[in-house]
Amino acid sequence: MTFAQAVTDRTRRLQTRLCVGLDPRLSEYRDLGALRTHTLDVLEAAAPFAACVKPQLAFFEALGLPGFTLLEEVCAQARTLGLPVLLDGKRGDIGTTAAAYAQGWLAGPHAGDALTVNPFLGFATLTPFVEAARANGGAIFVLVKTSNPDQADVQGGGISERVAAEIARLNAQDTGLGDGDYAAVGAVVGATHPGDLARFRDAMPRALLLLPGLGAQGAQAAELAPAFHRGGTGALASASRAVQYASGLDVTASREAARTLRDELNAALA
């Protein structure tokens, strides 16, 4: 299955729209061994309640070579658990550099099934990522309207709407989609902007929406229903710190946090 098919299948089969983020912060642990063990334990504990997992590349990169080794372990364990992997790297560049990022993160040894992508160097820079995602049955999630308060500095004035229109154009080229299928180009729309969700949902009908901001950033599951299509598909609501560090390093608390967020999202769509 493609990434879009896999997360939609988990949404329908397991009744979950939750994307569990992994942000392993070295400052929370006594050493790298403890970080590794806890990160993998949280992944396993939260998996039954997740549609996908989202490792934040910055935290793995900050660990140096051990971080890349752990990332490969996370990806391998996620796939053993049946969880699609969405790498949060917000990559974006021009020409051959963009192509190298696409190769490394969508087809290389550290690759995920999907990758977040920054479009603000121009729409042509998306091409290598789109091509790699389509070739490998993956997906990209293009930044449209991010969850941070100061996003309006560069995403206001109609810019987010222009990016959304480009995503819709790219997905319209995918003529092999069936009814209810989602294309390879998704969009990041912050869960912290609930009043904008319906508009962006309508603007990008074949795009999966990634909704970051649950938990630590203050977004509420009860406000996210407009991001979903009928039947509760089409969006993934993401929580990271609220799951991984729900109560310090208590893995049971992480499991319960994931369960609670899943149930809150389901209740919002009832």
Among this protein's residues, is 54 annotated catalytic? no
Q: Is 83 helix (H, G, I), strand (E, B) or coil?
A: coil
Closest alpha carbon to 230 in 171, 183, 270, 174: 270
| Selected catalytic residue, list 10, 36, 90, 201 | 90
Instruction: Name 114's Cβ contacts closer than 8 Å, sequence gap at least 6.
Output: 3, 52, 84, 85, 86, 87, 106, 133, 138, 139, 140, 141, 186
DSSP, res 85: B
Nearest-5° angle of CA 164, CA 258, CA 219? 45
Q: Which residues are catalytic?
A: 90
